[in-house]
Structure formats: structure tokens, C-alpha cells
Structure 1
């Protein structure tokens, strides 16, 4: 028969067990490096450069990783890493990524997502918005050295890129010239 005292004792034991389990989980996640976390999610550890000292990871997969300084790393192309990197981790991919930019020709593009094929094809895919780049997975086996760097140029600041509201301008004085392929004289 359950007495009030045994109910309190049972509740106390269950609470202490739950507290101990949550503490042991927190200790194990604190003792894991961000590189261990990447590996446990099926991602190569070389996605992030050497020198990530601190990171947070919540139960939903949201992470923030911190570098001492912004830096560049060289792969097949150059990658820029902000001081703060963030995104959503799930098995084999990082989504909603911020803090990493990739250079293509002379332009820098933000890397918005990274994924590996499951089962592995030996390729890793980078979503840089306008282009999906794929690289050999072997390029990312070890964290790269990273050299201190300023942020890549922000092309919006220098007027090379202008944000648009999605509407093309149409002036009423253009008549049909703007809507046809015929040449109109001024």
C-alpha cells in the first residue's frame, strides 16, 4: 500500500535520477568538441576551421560556434568564416547556415546550407544561393588552418548590388516600346 511518505520518497528518487541524468548529458555534451558533434551528425570535421573554442547546441539542433577572429581557409575555392557561425544541424546536413562565405571567381557568396549524401557518394554539397557547388568529401577530412581576415567585401555597400522589391520599373511614357521587341525611336 502506498503511503504519503512513500509517494514523496518515490517522487524524490525519480527527481534526483532525472536531475542526475540531465547533468550527465550536459557534461557529455560539454566535453564534446564541435568537431565531435559534426562527426556524430555524419558530417566531416573539416567543415569548420581549427580554433573553434566555444559552441552551443540545443535539443532542436540549433548551434552557434565561435572563433577568436574572422578568417579565410583555402580549399578548392576560398572560404571565409565570421567570428560567429550558426545554423541547424541534422544528420548529414547543416541548414540556415550563417557566418560562412565562399568565393567564386571574384565574388563572395554566403553559404546557406551544406549536406552530404546518405549513403555517401563521396561528395559534399554547398548551397550558395545562386549555385550549388559540390566538392570531394575527402577535402574536408581535417579542420583547415585559417588565416586572419577582414570580411569579404559587402557589394551592397559599394553599390554593385542593389536590393530590389521584386518589381521591374515601368514608365508610362515608354508606350509599347517596353513591351515589344521592336525598336522605338526617341
Structure 2
């Protein structure tokens, strides 16, 4: 049988649910909401996020997509099944799972950051360079077409086995898939 304290908590909870019904019906925030709250555009991740996890204290996140896919902004981008990184104010660091095509080579995107609002630029750190694109290209999530090939890498990017980091997300898609990389 419950104590008087349990009854008190139940009455208070009932009171607040009647007084403020909108609080109990608020949807959970999406990953796109977390991006916007951090000062980043939602379109840096394509449509189709099936699952995500985020540590609010550290900003560490993992995002799952149903299939690897490609999206064309000003440049071609490739998104793996799993994308991970550290989200902070106006930037993502330690990014993995995203590559960008420059001319005919694919480069791993290691980080993303937004310039102050006045410049209207977003920067993609690909290690050897910093690619600047218009922030307006990334305002909303884009459709992403299934990747034509898994040969998006030319020795510049090594896929990670995220099963060790995020077993829950990997289990959505079954066992790890074979990955091919071309190296010299």
C-alpha cells in the first residue's frame, strides 16, 4: 500500500497535468531540434534519421540513417549509416560518417562550424582544407538518395566500426556490412 507521500506526489502530478496539459503532450525533440538549438542549420544532416542518441552534458551524439546516401548541395556529400560527433555552440567536432567530394576525390569531413550570422557561411573541415559554403544551402534537411557505390573513399577516409560505440543503433540494421576502401 502507498504512503501518504506517494499519494501527495500523485495528487500534485494530477494537478499539474490538469493545469498544464501541454506539458505532458510535448513531443520529444528531434536531432534536427538539437542542431537548431546549437546554432547549426538542420540541413547538415539529411532527412531520414531513424534513431539518435545524444549526451546533453558532453554533446556527444550518434545518428542512424536507414541506408548510406548521397546529397548534392554545392558539392556532393556522402552520409554513412552512422554519423557521430560532438555538438557544441555553432559547431560539430570529431565528426565521422560524412565525406565530401572535391573535384574527383572524397575527403572525410572532420568538423563543421558556422560563421557569425552576418557572414552567412558554414565551414566544413576536411583536414587538408576548410570548405566554405552558403549557410542558406543547409536551412532544412534534404532528401538523400541511396549511395550508388560504397567506393566513396580513396585512402583519405577509413570507415569506423561504430558497433563498439553504439551497439543499440547498429542493432537496428543487423550485422555490420562489408565496407571497401581503396588505398595505395
The TM-score normalised by the length of structure 1 is 0.68
CA contact (8 A) 1:80 1:152 kept: no
- CA displacement, residues 103-125 of structure 1 (integer Å, 9 cap, x when unaligned): 00100000000000234420000
Distance across 2 between alignment mates of 1:118 and 1:153: 32
Counterpart for residue 118 of structure 1: 116
Question: Relative to total residues, which structure has the larger helix share, 1 or 2?
Answer: 1
Structure index of larger Rg: 1
SS of the counterpart of 2:62?
A: strand
Distance across 1 between alignment mates of 2:109 and 2:183: 22
Counterpart for residue 89 of structure 2: 91
Unmatched 5+ stretches in structure 1: 1-8, 18-26, 161-186
1:46 maps onto 2:70 in alignment: no
1:158 maps onto 2:157 in alignment: no
Question: Across the two proteins, how many residue pairs are aligned to each other?
Answer: 144
Cα distance, 1:151 vs structure 2? 2.7
SS of the counterpart of 1:63?
A: strand
SS of the counterpart of 1:103?
A: strand
Unmatched 5+ stretches in structure 2: 14-24, 156-180
Cα distance, 1:142 vs structure 2? 1.3
Across the aligned residues of Structure 1 and Structure 2, the Cα RMSD in angstroms comes to 2.8
Distance across 1 between alignment mates of 2:53 and 2:182: 34
The TM-score normalised by the length of structure 2 is 0.69
